[in-house]
Amino acid sequence: GAGVSQSPSNKVTEKGKDVELRCDPISGHTALYWYRQRLGQGLEFLIYFQGNSAPDKSGLPSDRFSAERTGESVSTLTIQRTQQEDSAVYLCASSPWGTLGYEQYFGPGTRLTVT
Amino acid sequence: GIQVEQSPPDLILQEGANSTLRCNFSDSVNNLQWFHQNPWGQLINLFYIPSGTKQNGRLSATTVATERYSLLYISSSQTTDSGVYFCAVVPNSGGYNKLIFGAGTRLAVHP
């Protein structure tokens, strides 16, 4: 079946503009995660959605970052008033839950460059 | 919070050699995953292994949860094994299943 998909694959934006990144999880996966990977580093957790539970936003670096998820499908990560330090690859992952296990599967990422 | 340390940070191998990558974590975990990030940036799932031993072709992994470490073995390495290997854990204490990543081991396999 199809894996996690993300769009756009690359985004170049000017400092101060808003950007929206999209993630389509694997069908049937109830949990969805956003991570950020700065150049040459490991991944940092940003936000997590699971079913109808309140999202865990503990990893969002500032109030310029927000995310939404519609039911158990698409999610969008929005960065307002982008700064140069926001330049990174933003990766989305999804996983099943409960008796189906918790293994996370990652999409190809969106490379964001803020000029 | 939990610390995840991977060693070695960098590894250079000749094609055909074997290697062992290590992941130490500072607290008890619910889940542990190993990933390979290829040169195009894609994270590929290798193992989902909160405990025990698993094998998949030339790769195998062992997690000893009580001693807080995991090992990834690569045998008969190939140039396509090059890239960065990440260990990631979900700590027992809270976390809502978010993965905490180590800094990775950068592997280069030369022909």
Number of domains observed in the structure of chain A:
1
Distance CA A104, CA A94 (A): 5
Q: A113 lies in a domain? A: no
Size of interface A-B (CB pairs under 8 A): 54
Distance CA A57, CA A19 (A): 18
Residue A101 has pLDDT above 80, yes or no: no
Q: Does the beta-carbon distance from A42 to B99 stay under 8 Å?
A: no
Q: A24 lies in a domain? A: yes
Q: If you write DSSP's letter for every residue of B58-97 in order, what string do you get? A: TEEEEEEGGGTEEEEEE-S--GGG-EEEEEEEEESSS-TT
**A25 exposure class (CB count in 10 Å sphere: 0-12, 13-18, 19+):** buried
- What is the span of the domain harbouring residue A22? 5-107
Mean pLDDT of chain A: 93
Q: A69 lies in a domain? A: yes
CB B53, CB B61: distance < 8 Å: yes
pLDDT band at B7 (very low <50, low <70, confident <90, very high): very high
CATH number of the structural domain spanning residue A30: 2.60.40.10
Q: Which of B48, B86, B98 sits opposite A48 (nearest CB)?
A: B98
Q: What is the pLDDT of residues B58-104, one digit of tens each?
A: 999 999 999 999 999 999 999 999 999 999 999 987 655 789 999 99
Distance CA A19, CA A34 (A): 15
3-state SS class at B27: coil
CATH number of the structural domain spanning residue B18: 2.60.40.10
Q: A59 lies in a domain? A: yes
Residue B56 has pLDDT above 90, yes or no: yes
Number of domains observed in the structure of chain B:
1
Q: What is the pLDDT of residues B20-50, one digit of tens each?
A: 999 999 999 989 999 999 988 999 999 999 9
- Residue A41 pLDDT: 86
B33 contacts in chain A (CB < 8 Å): 103-104
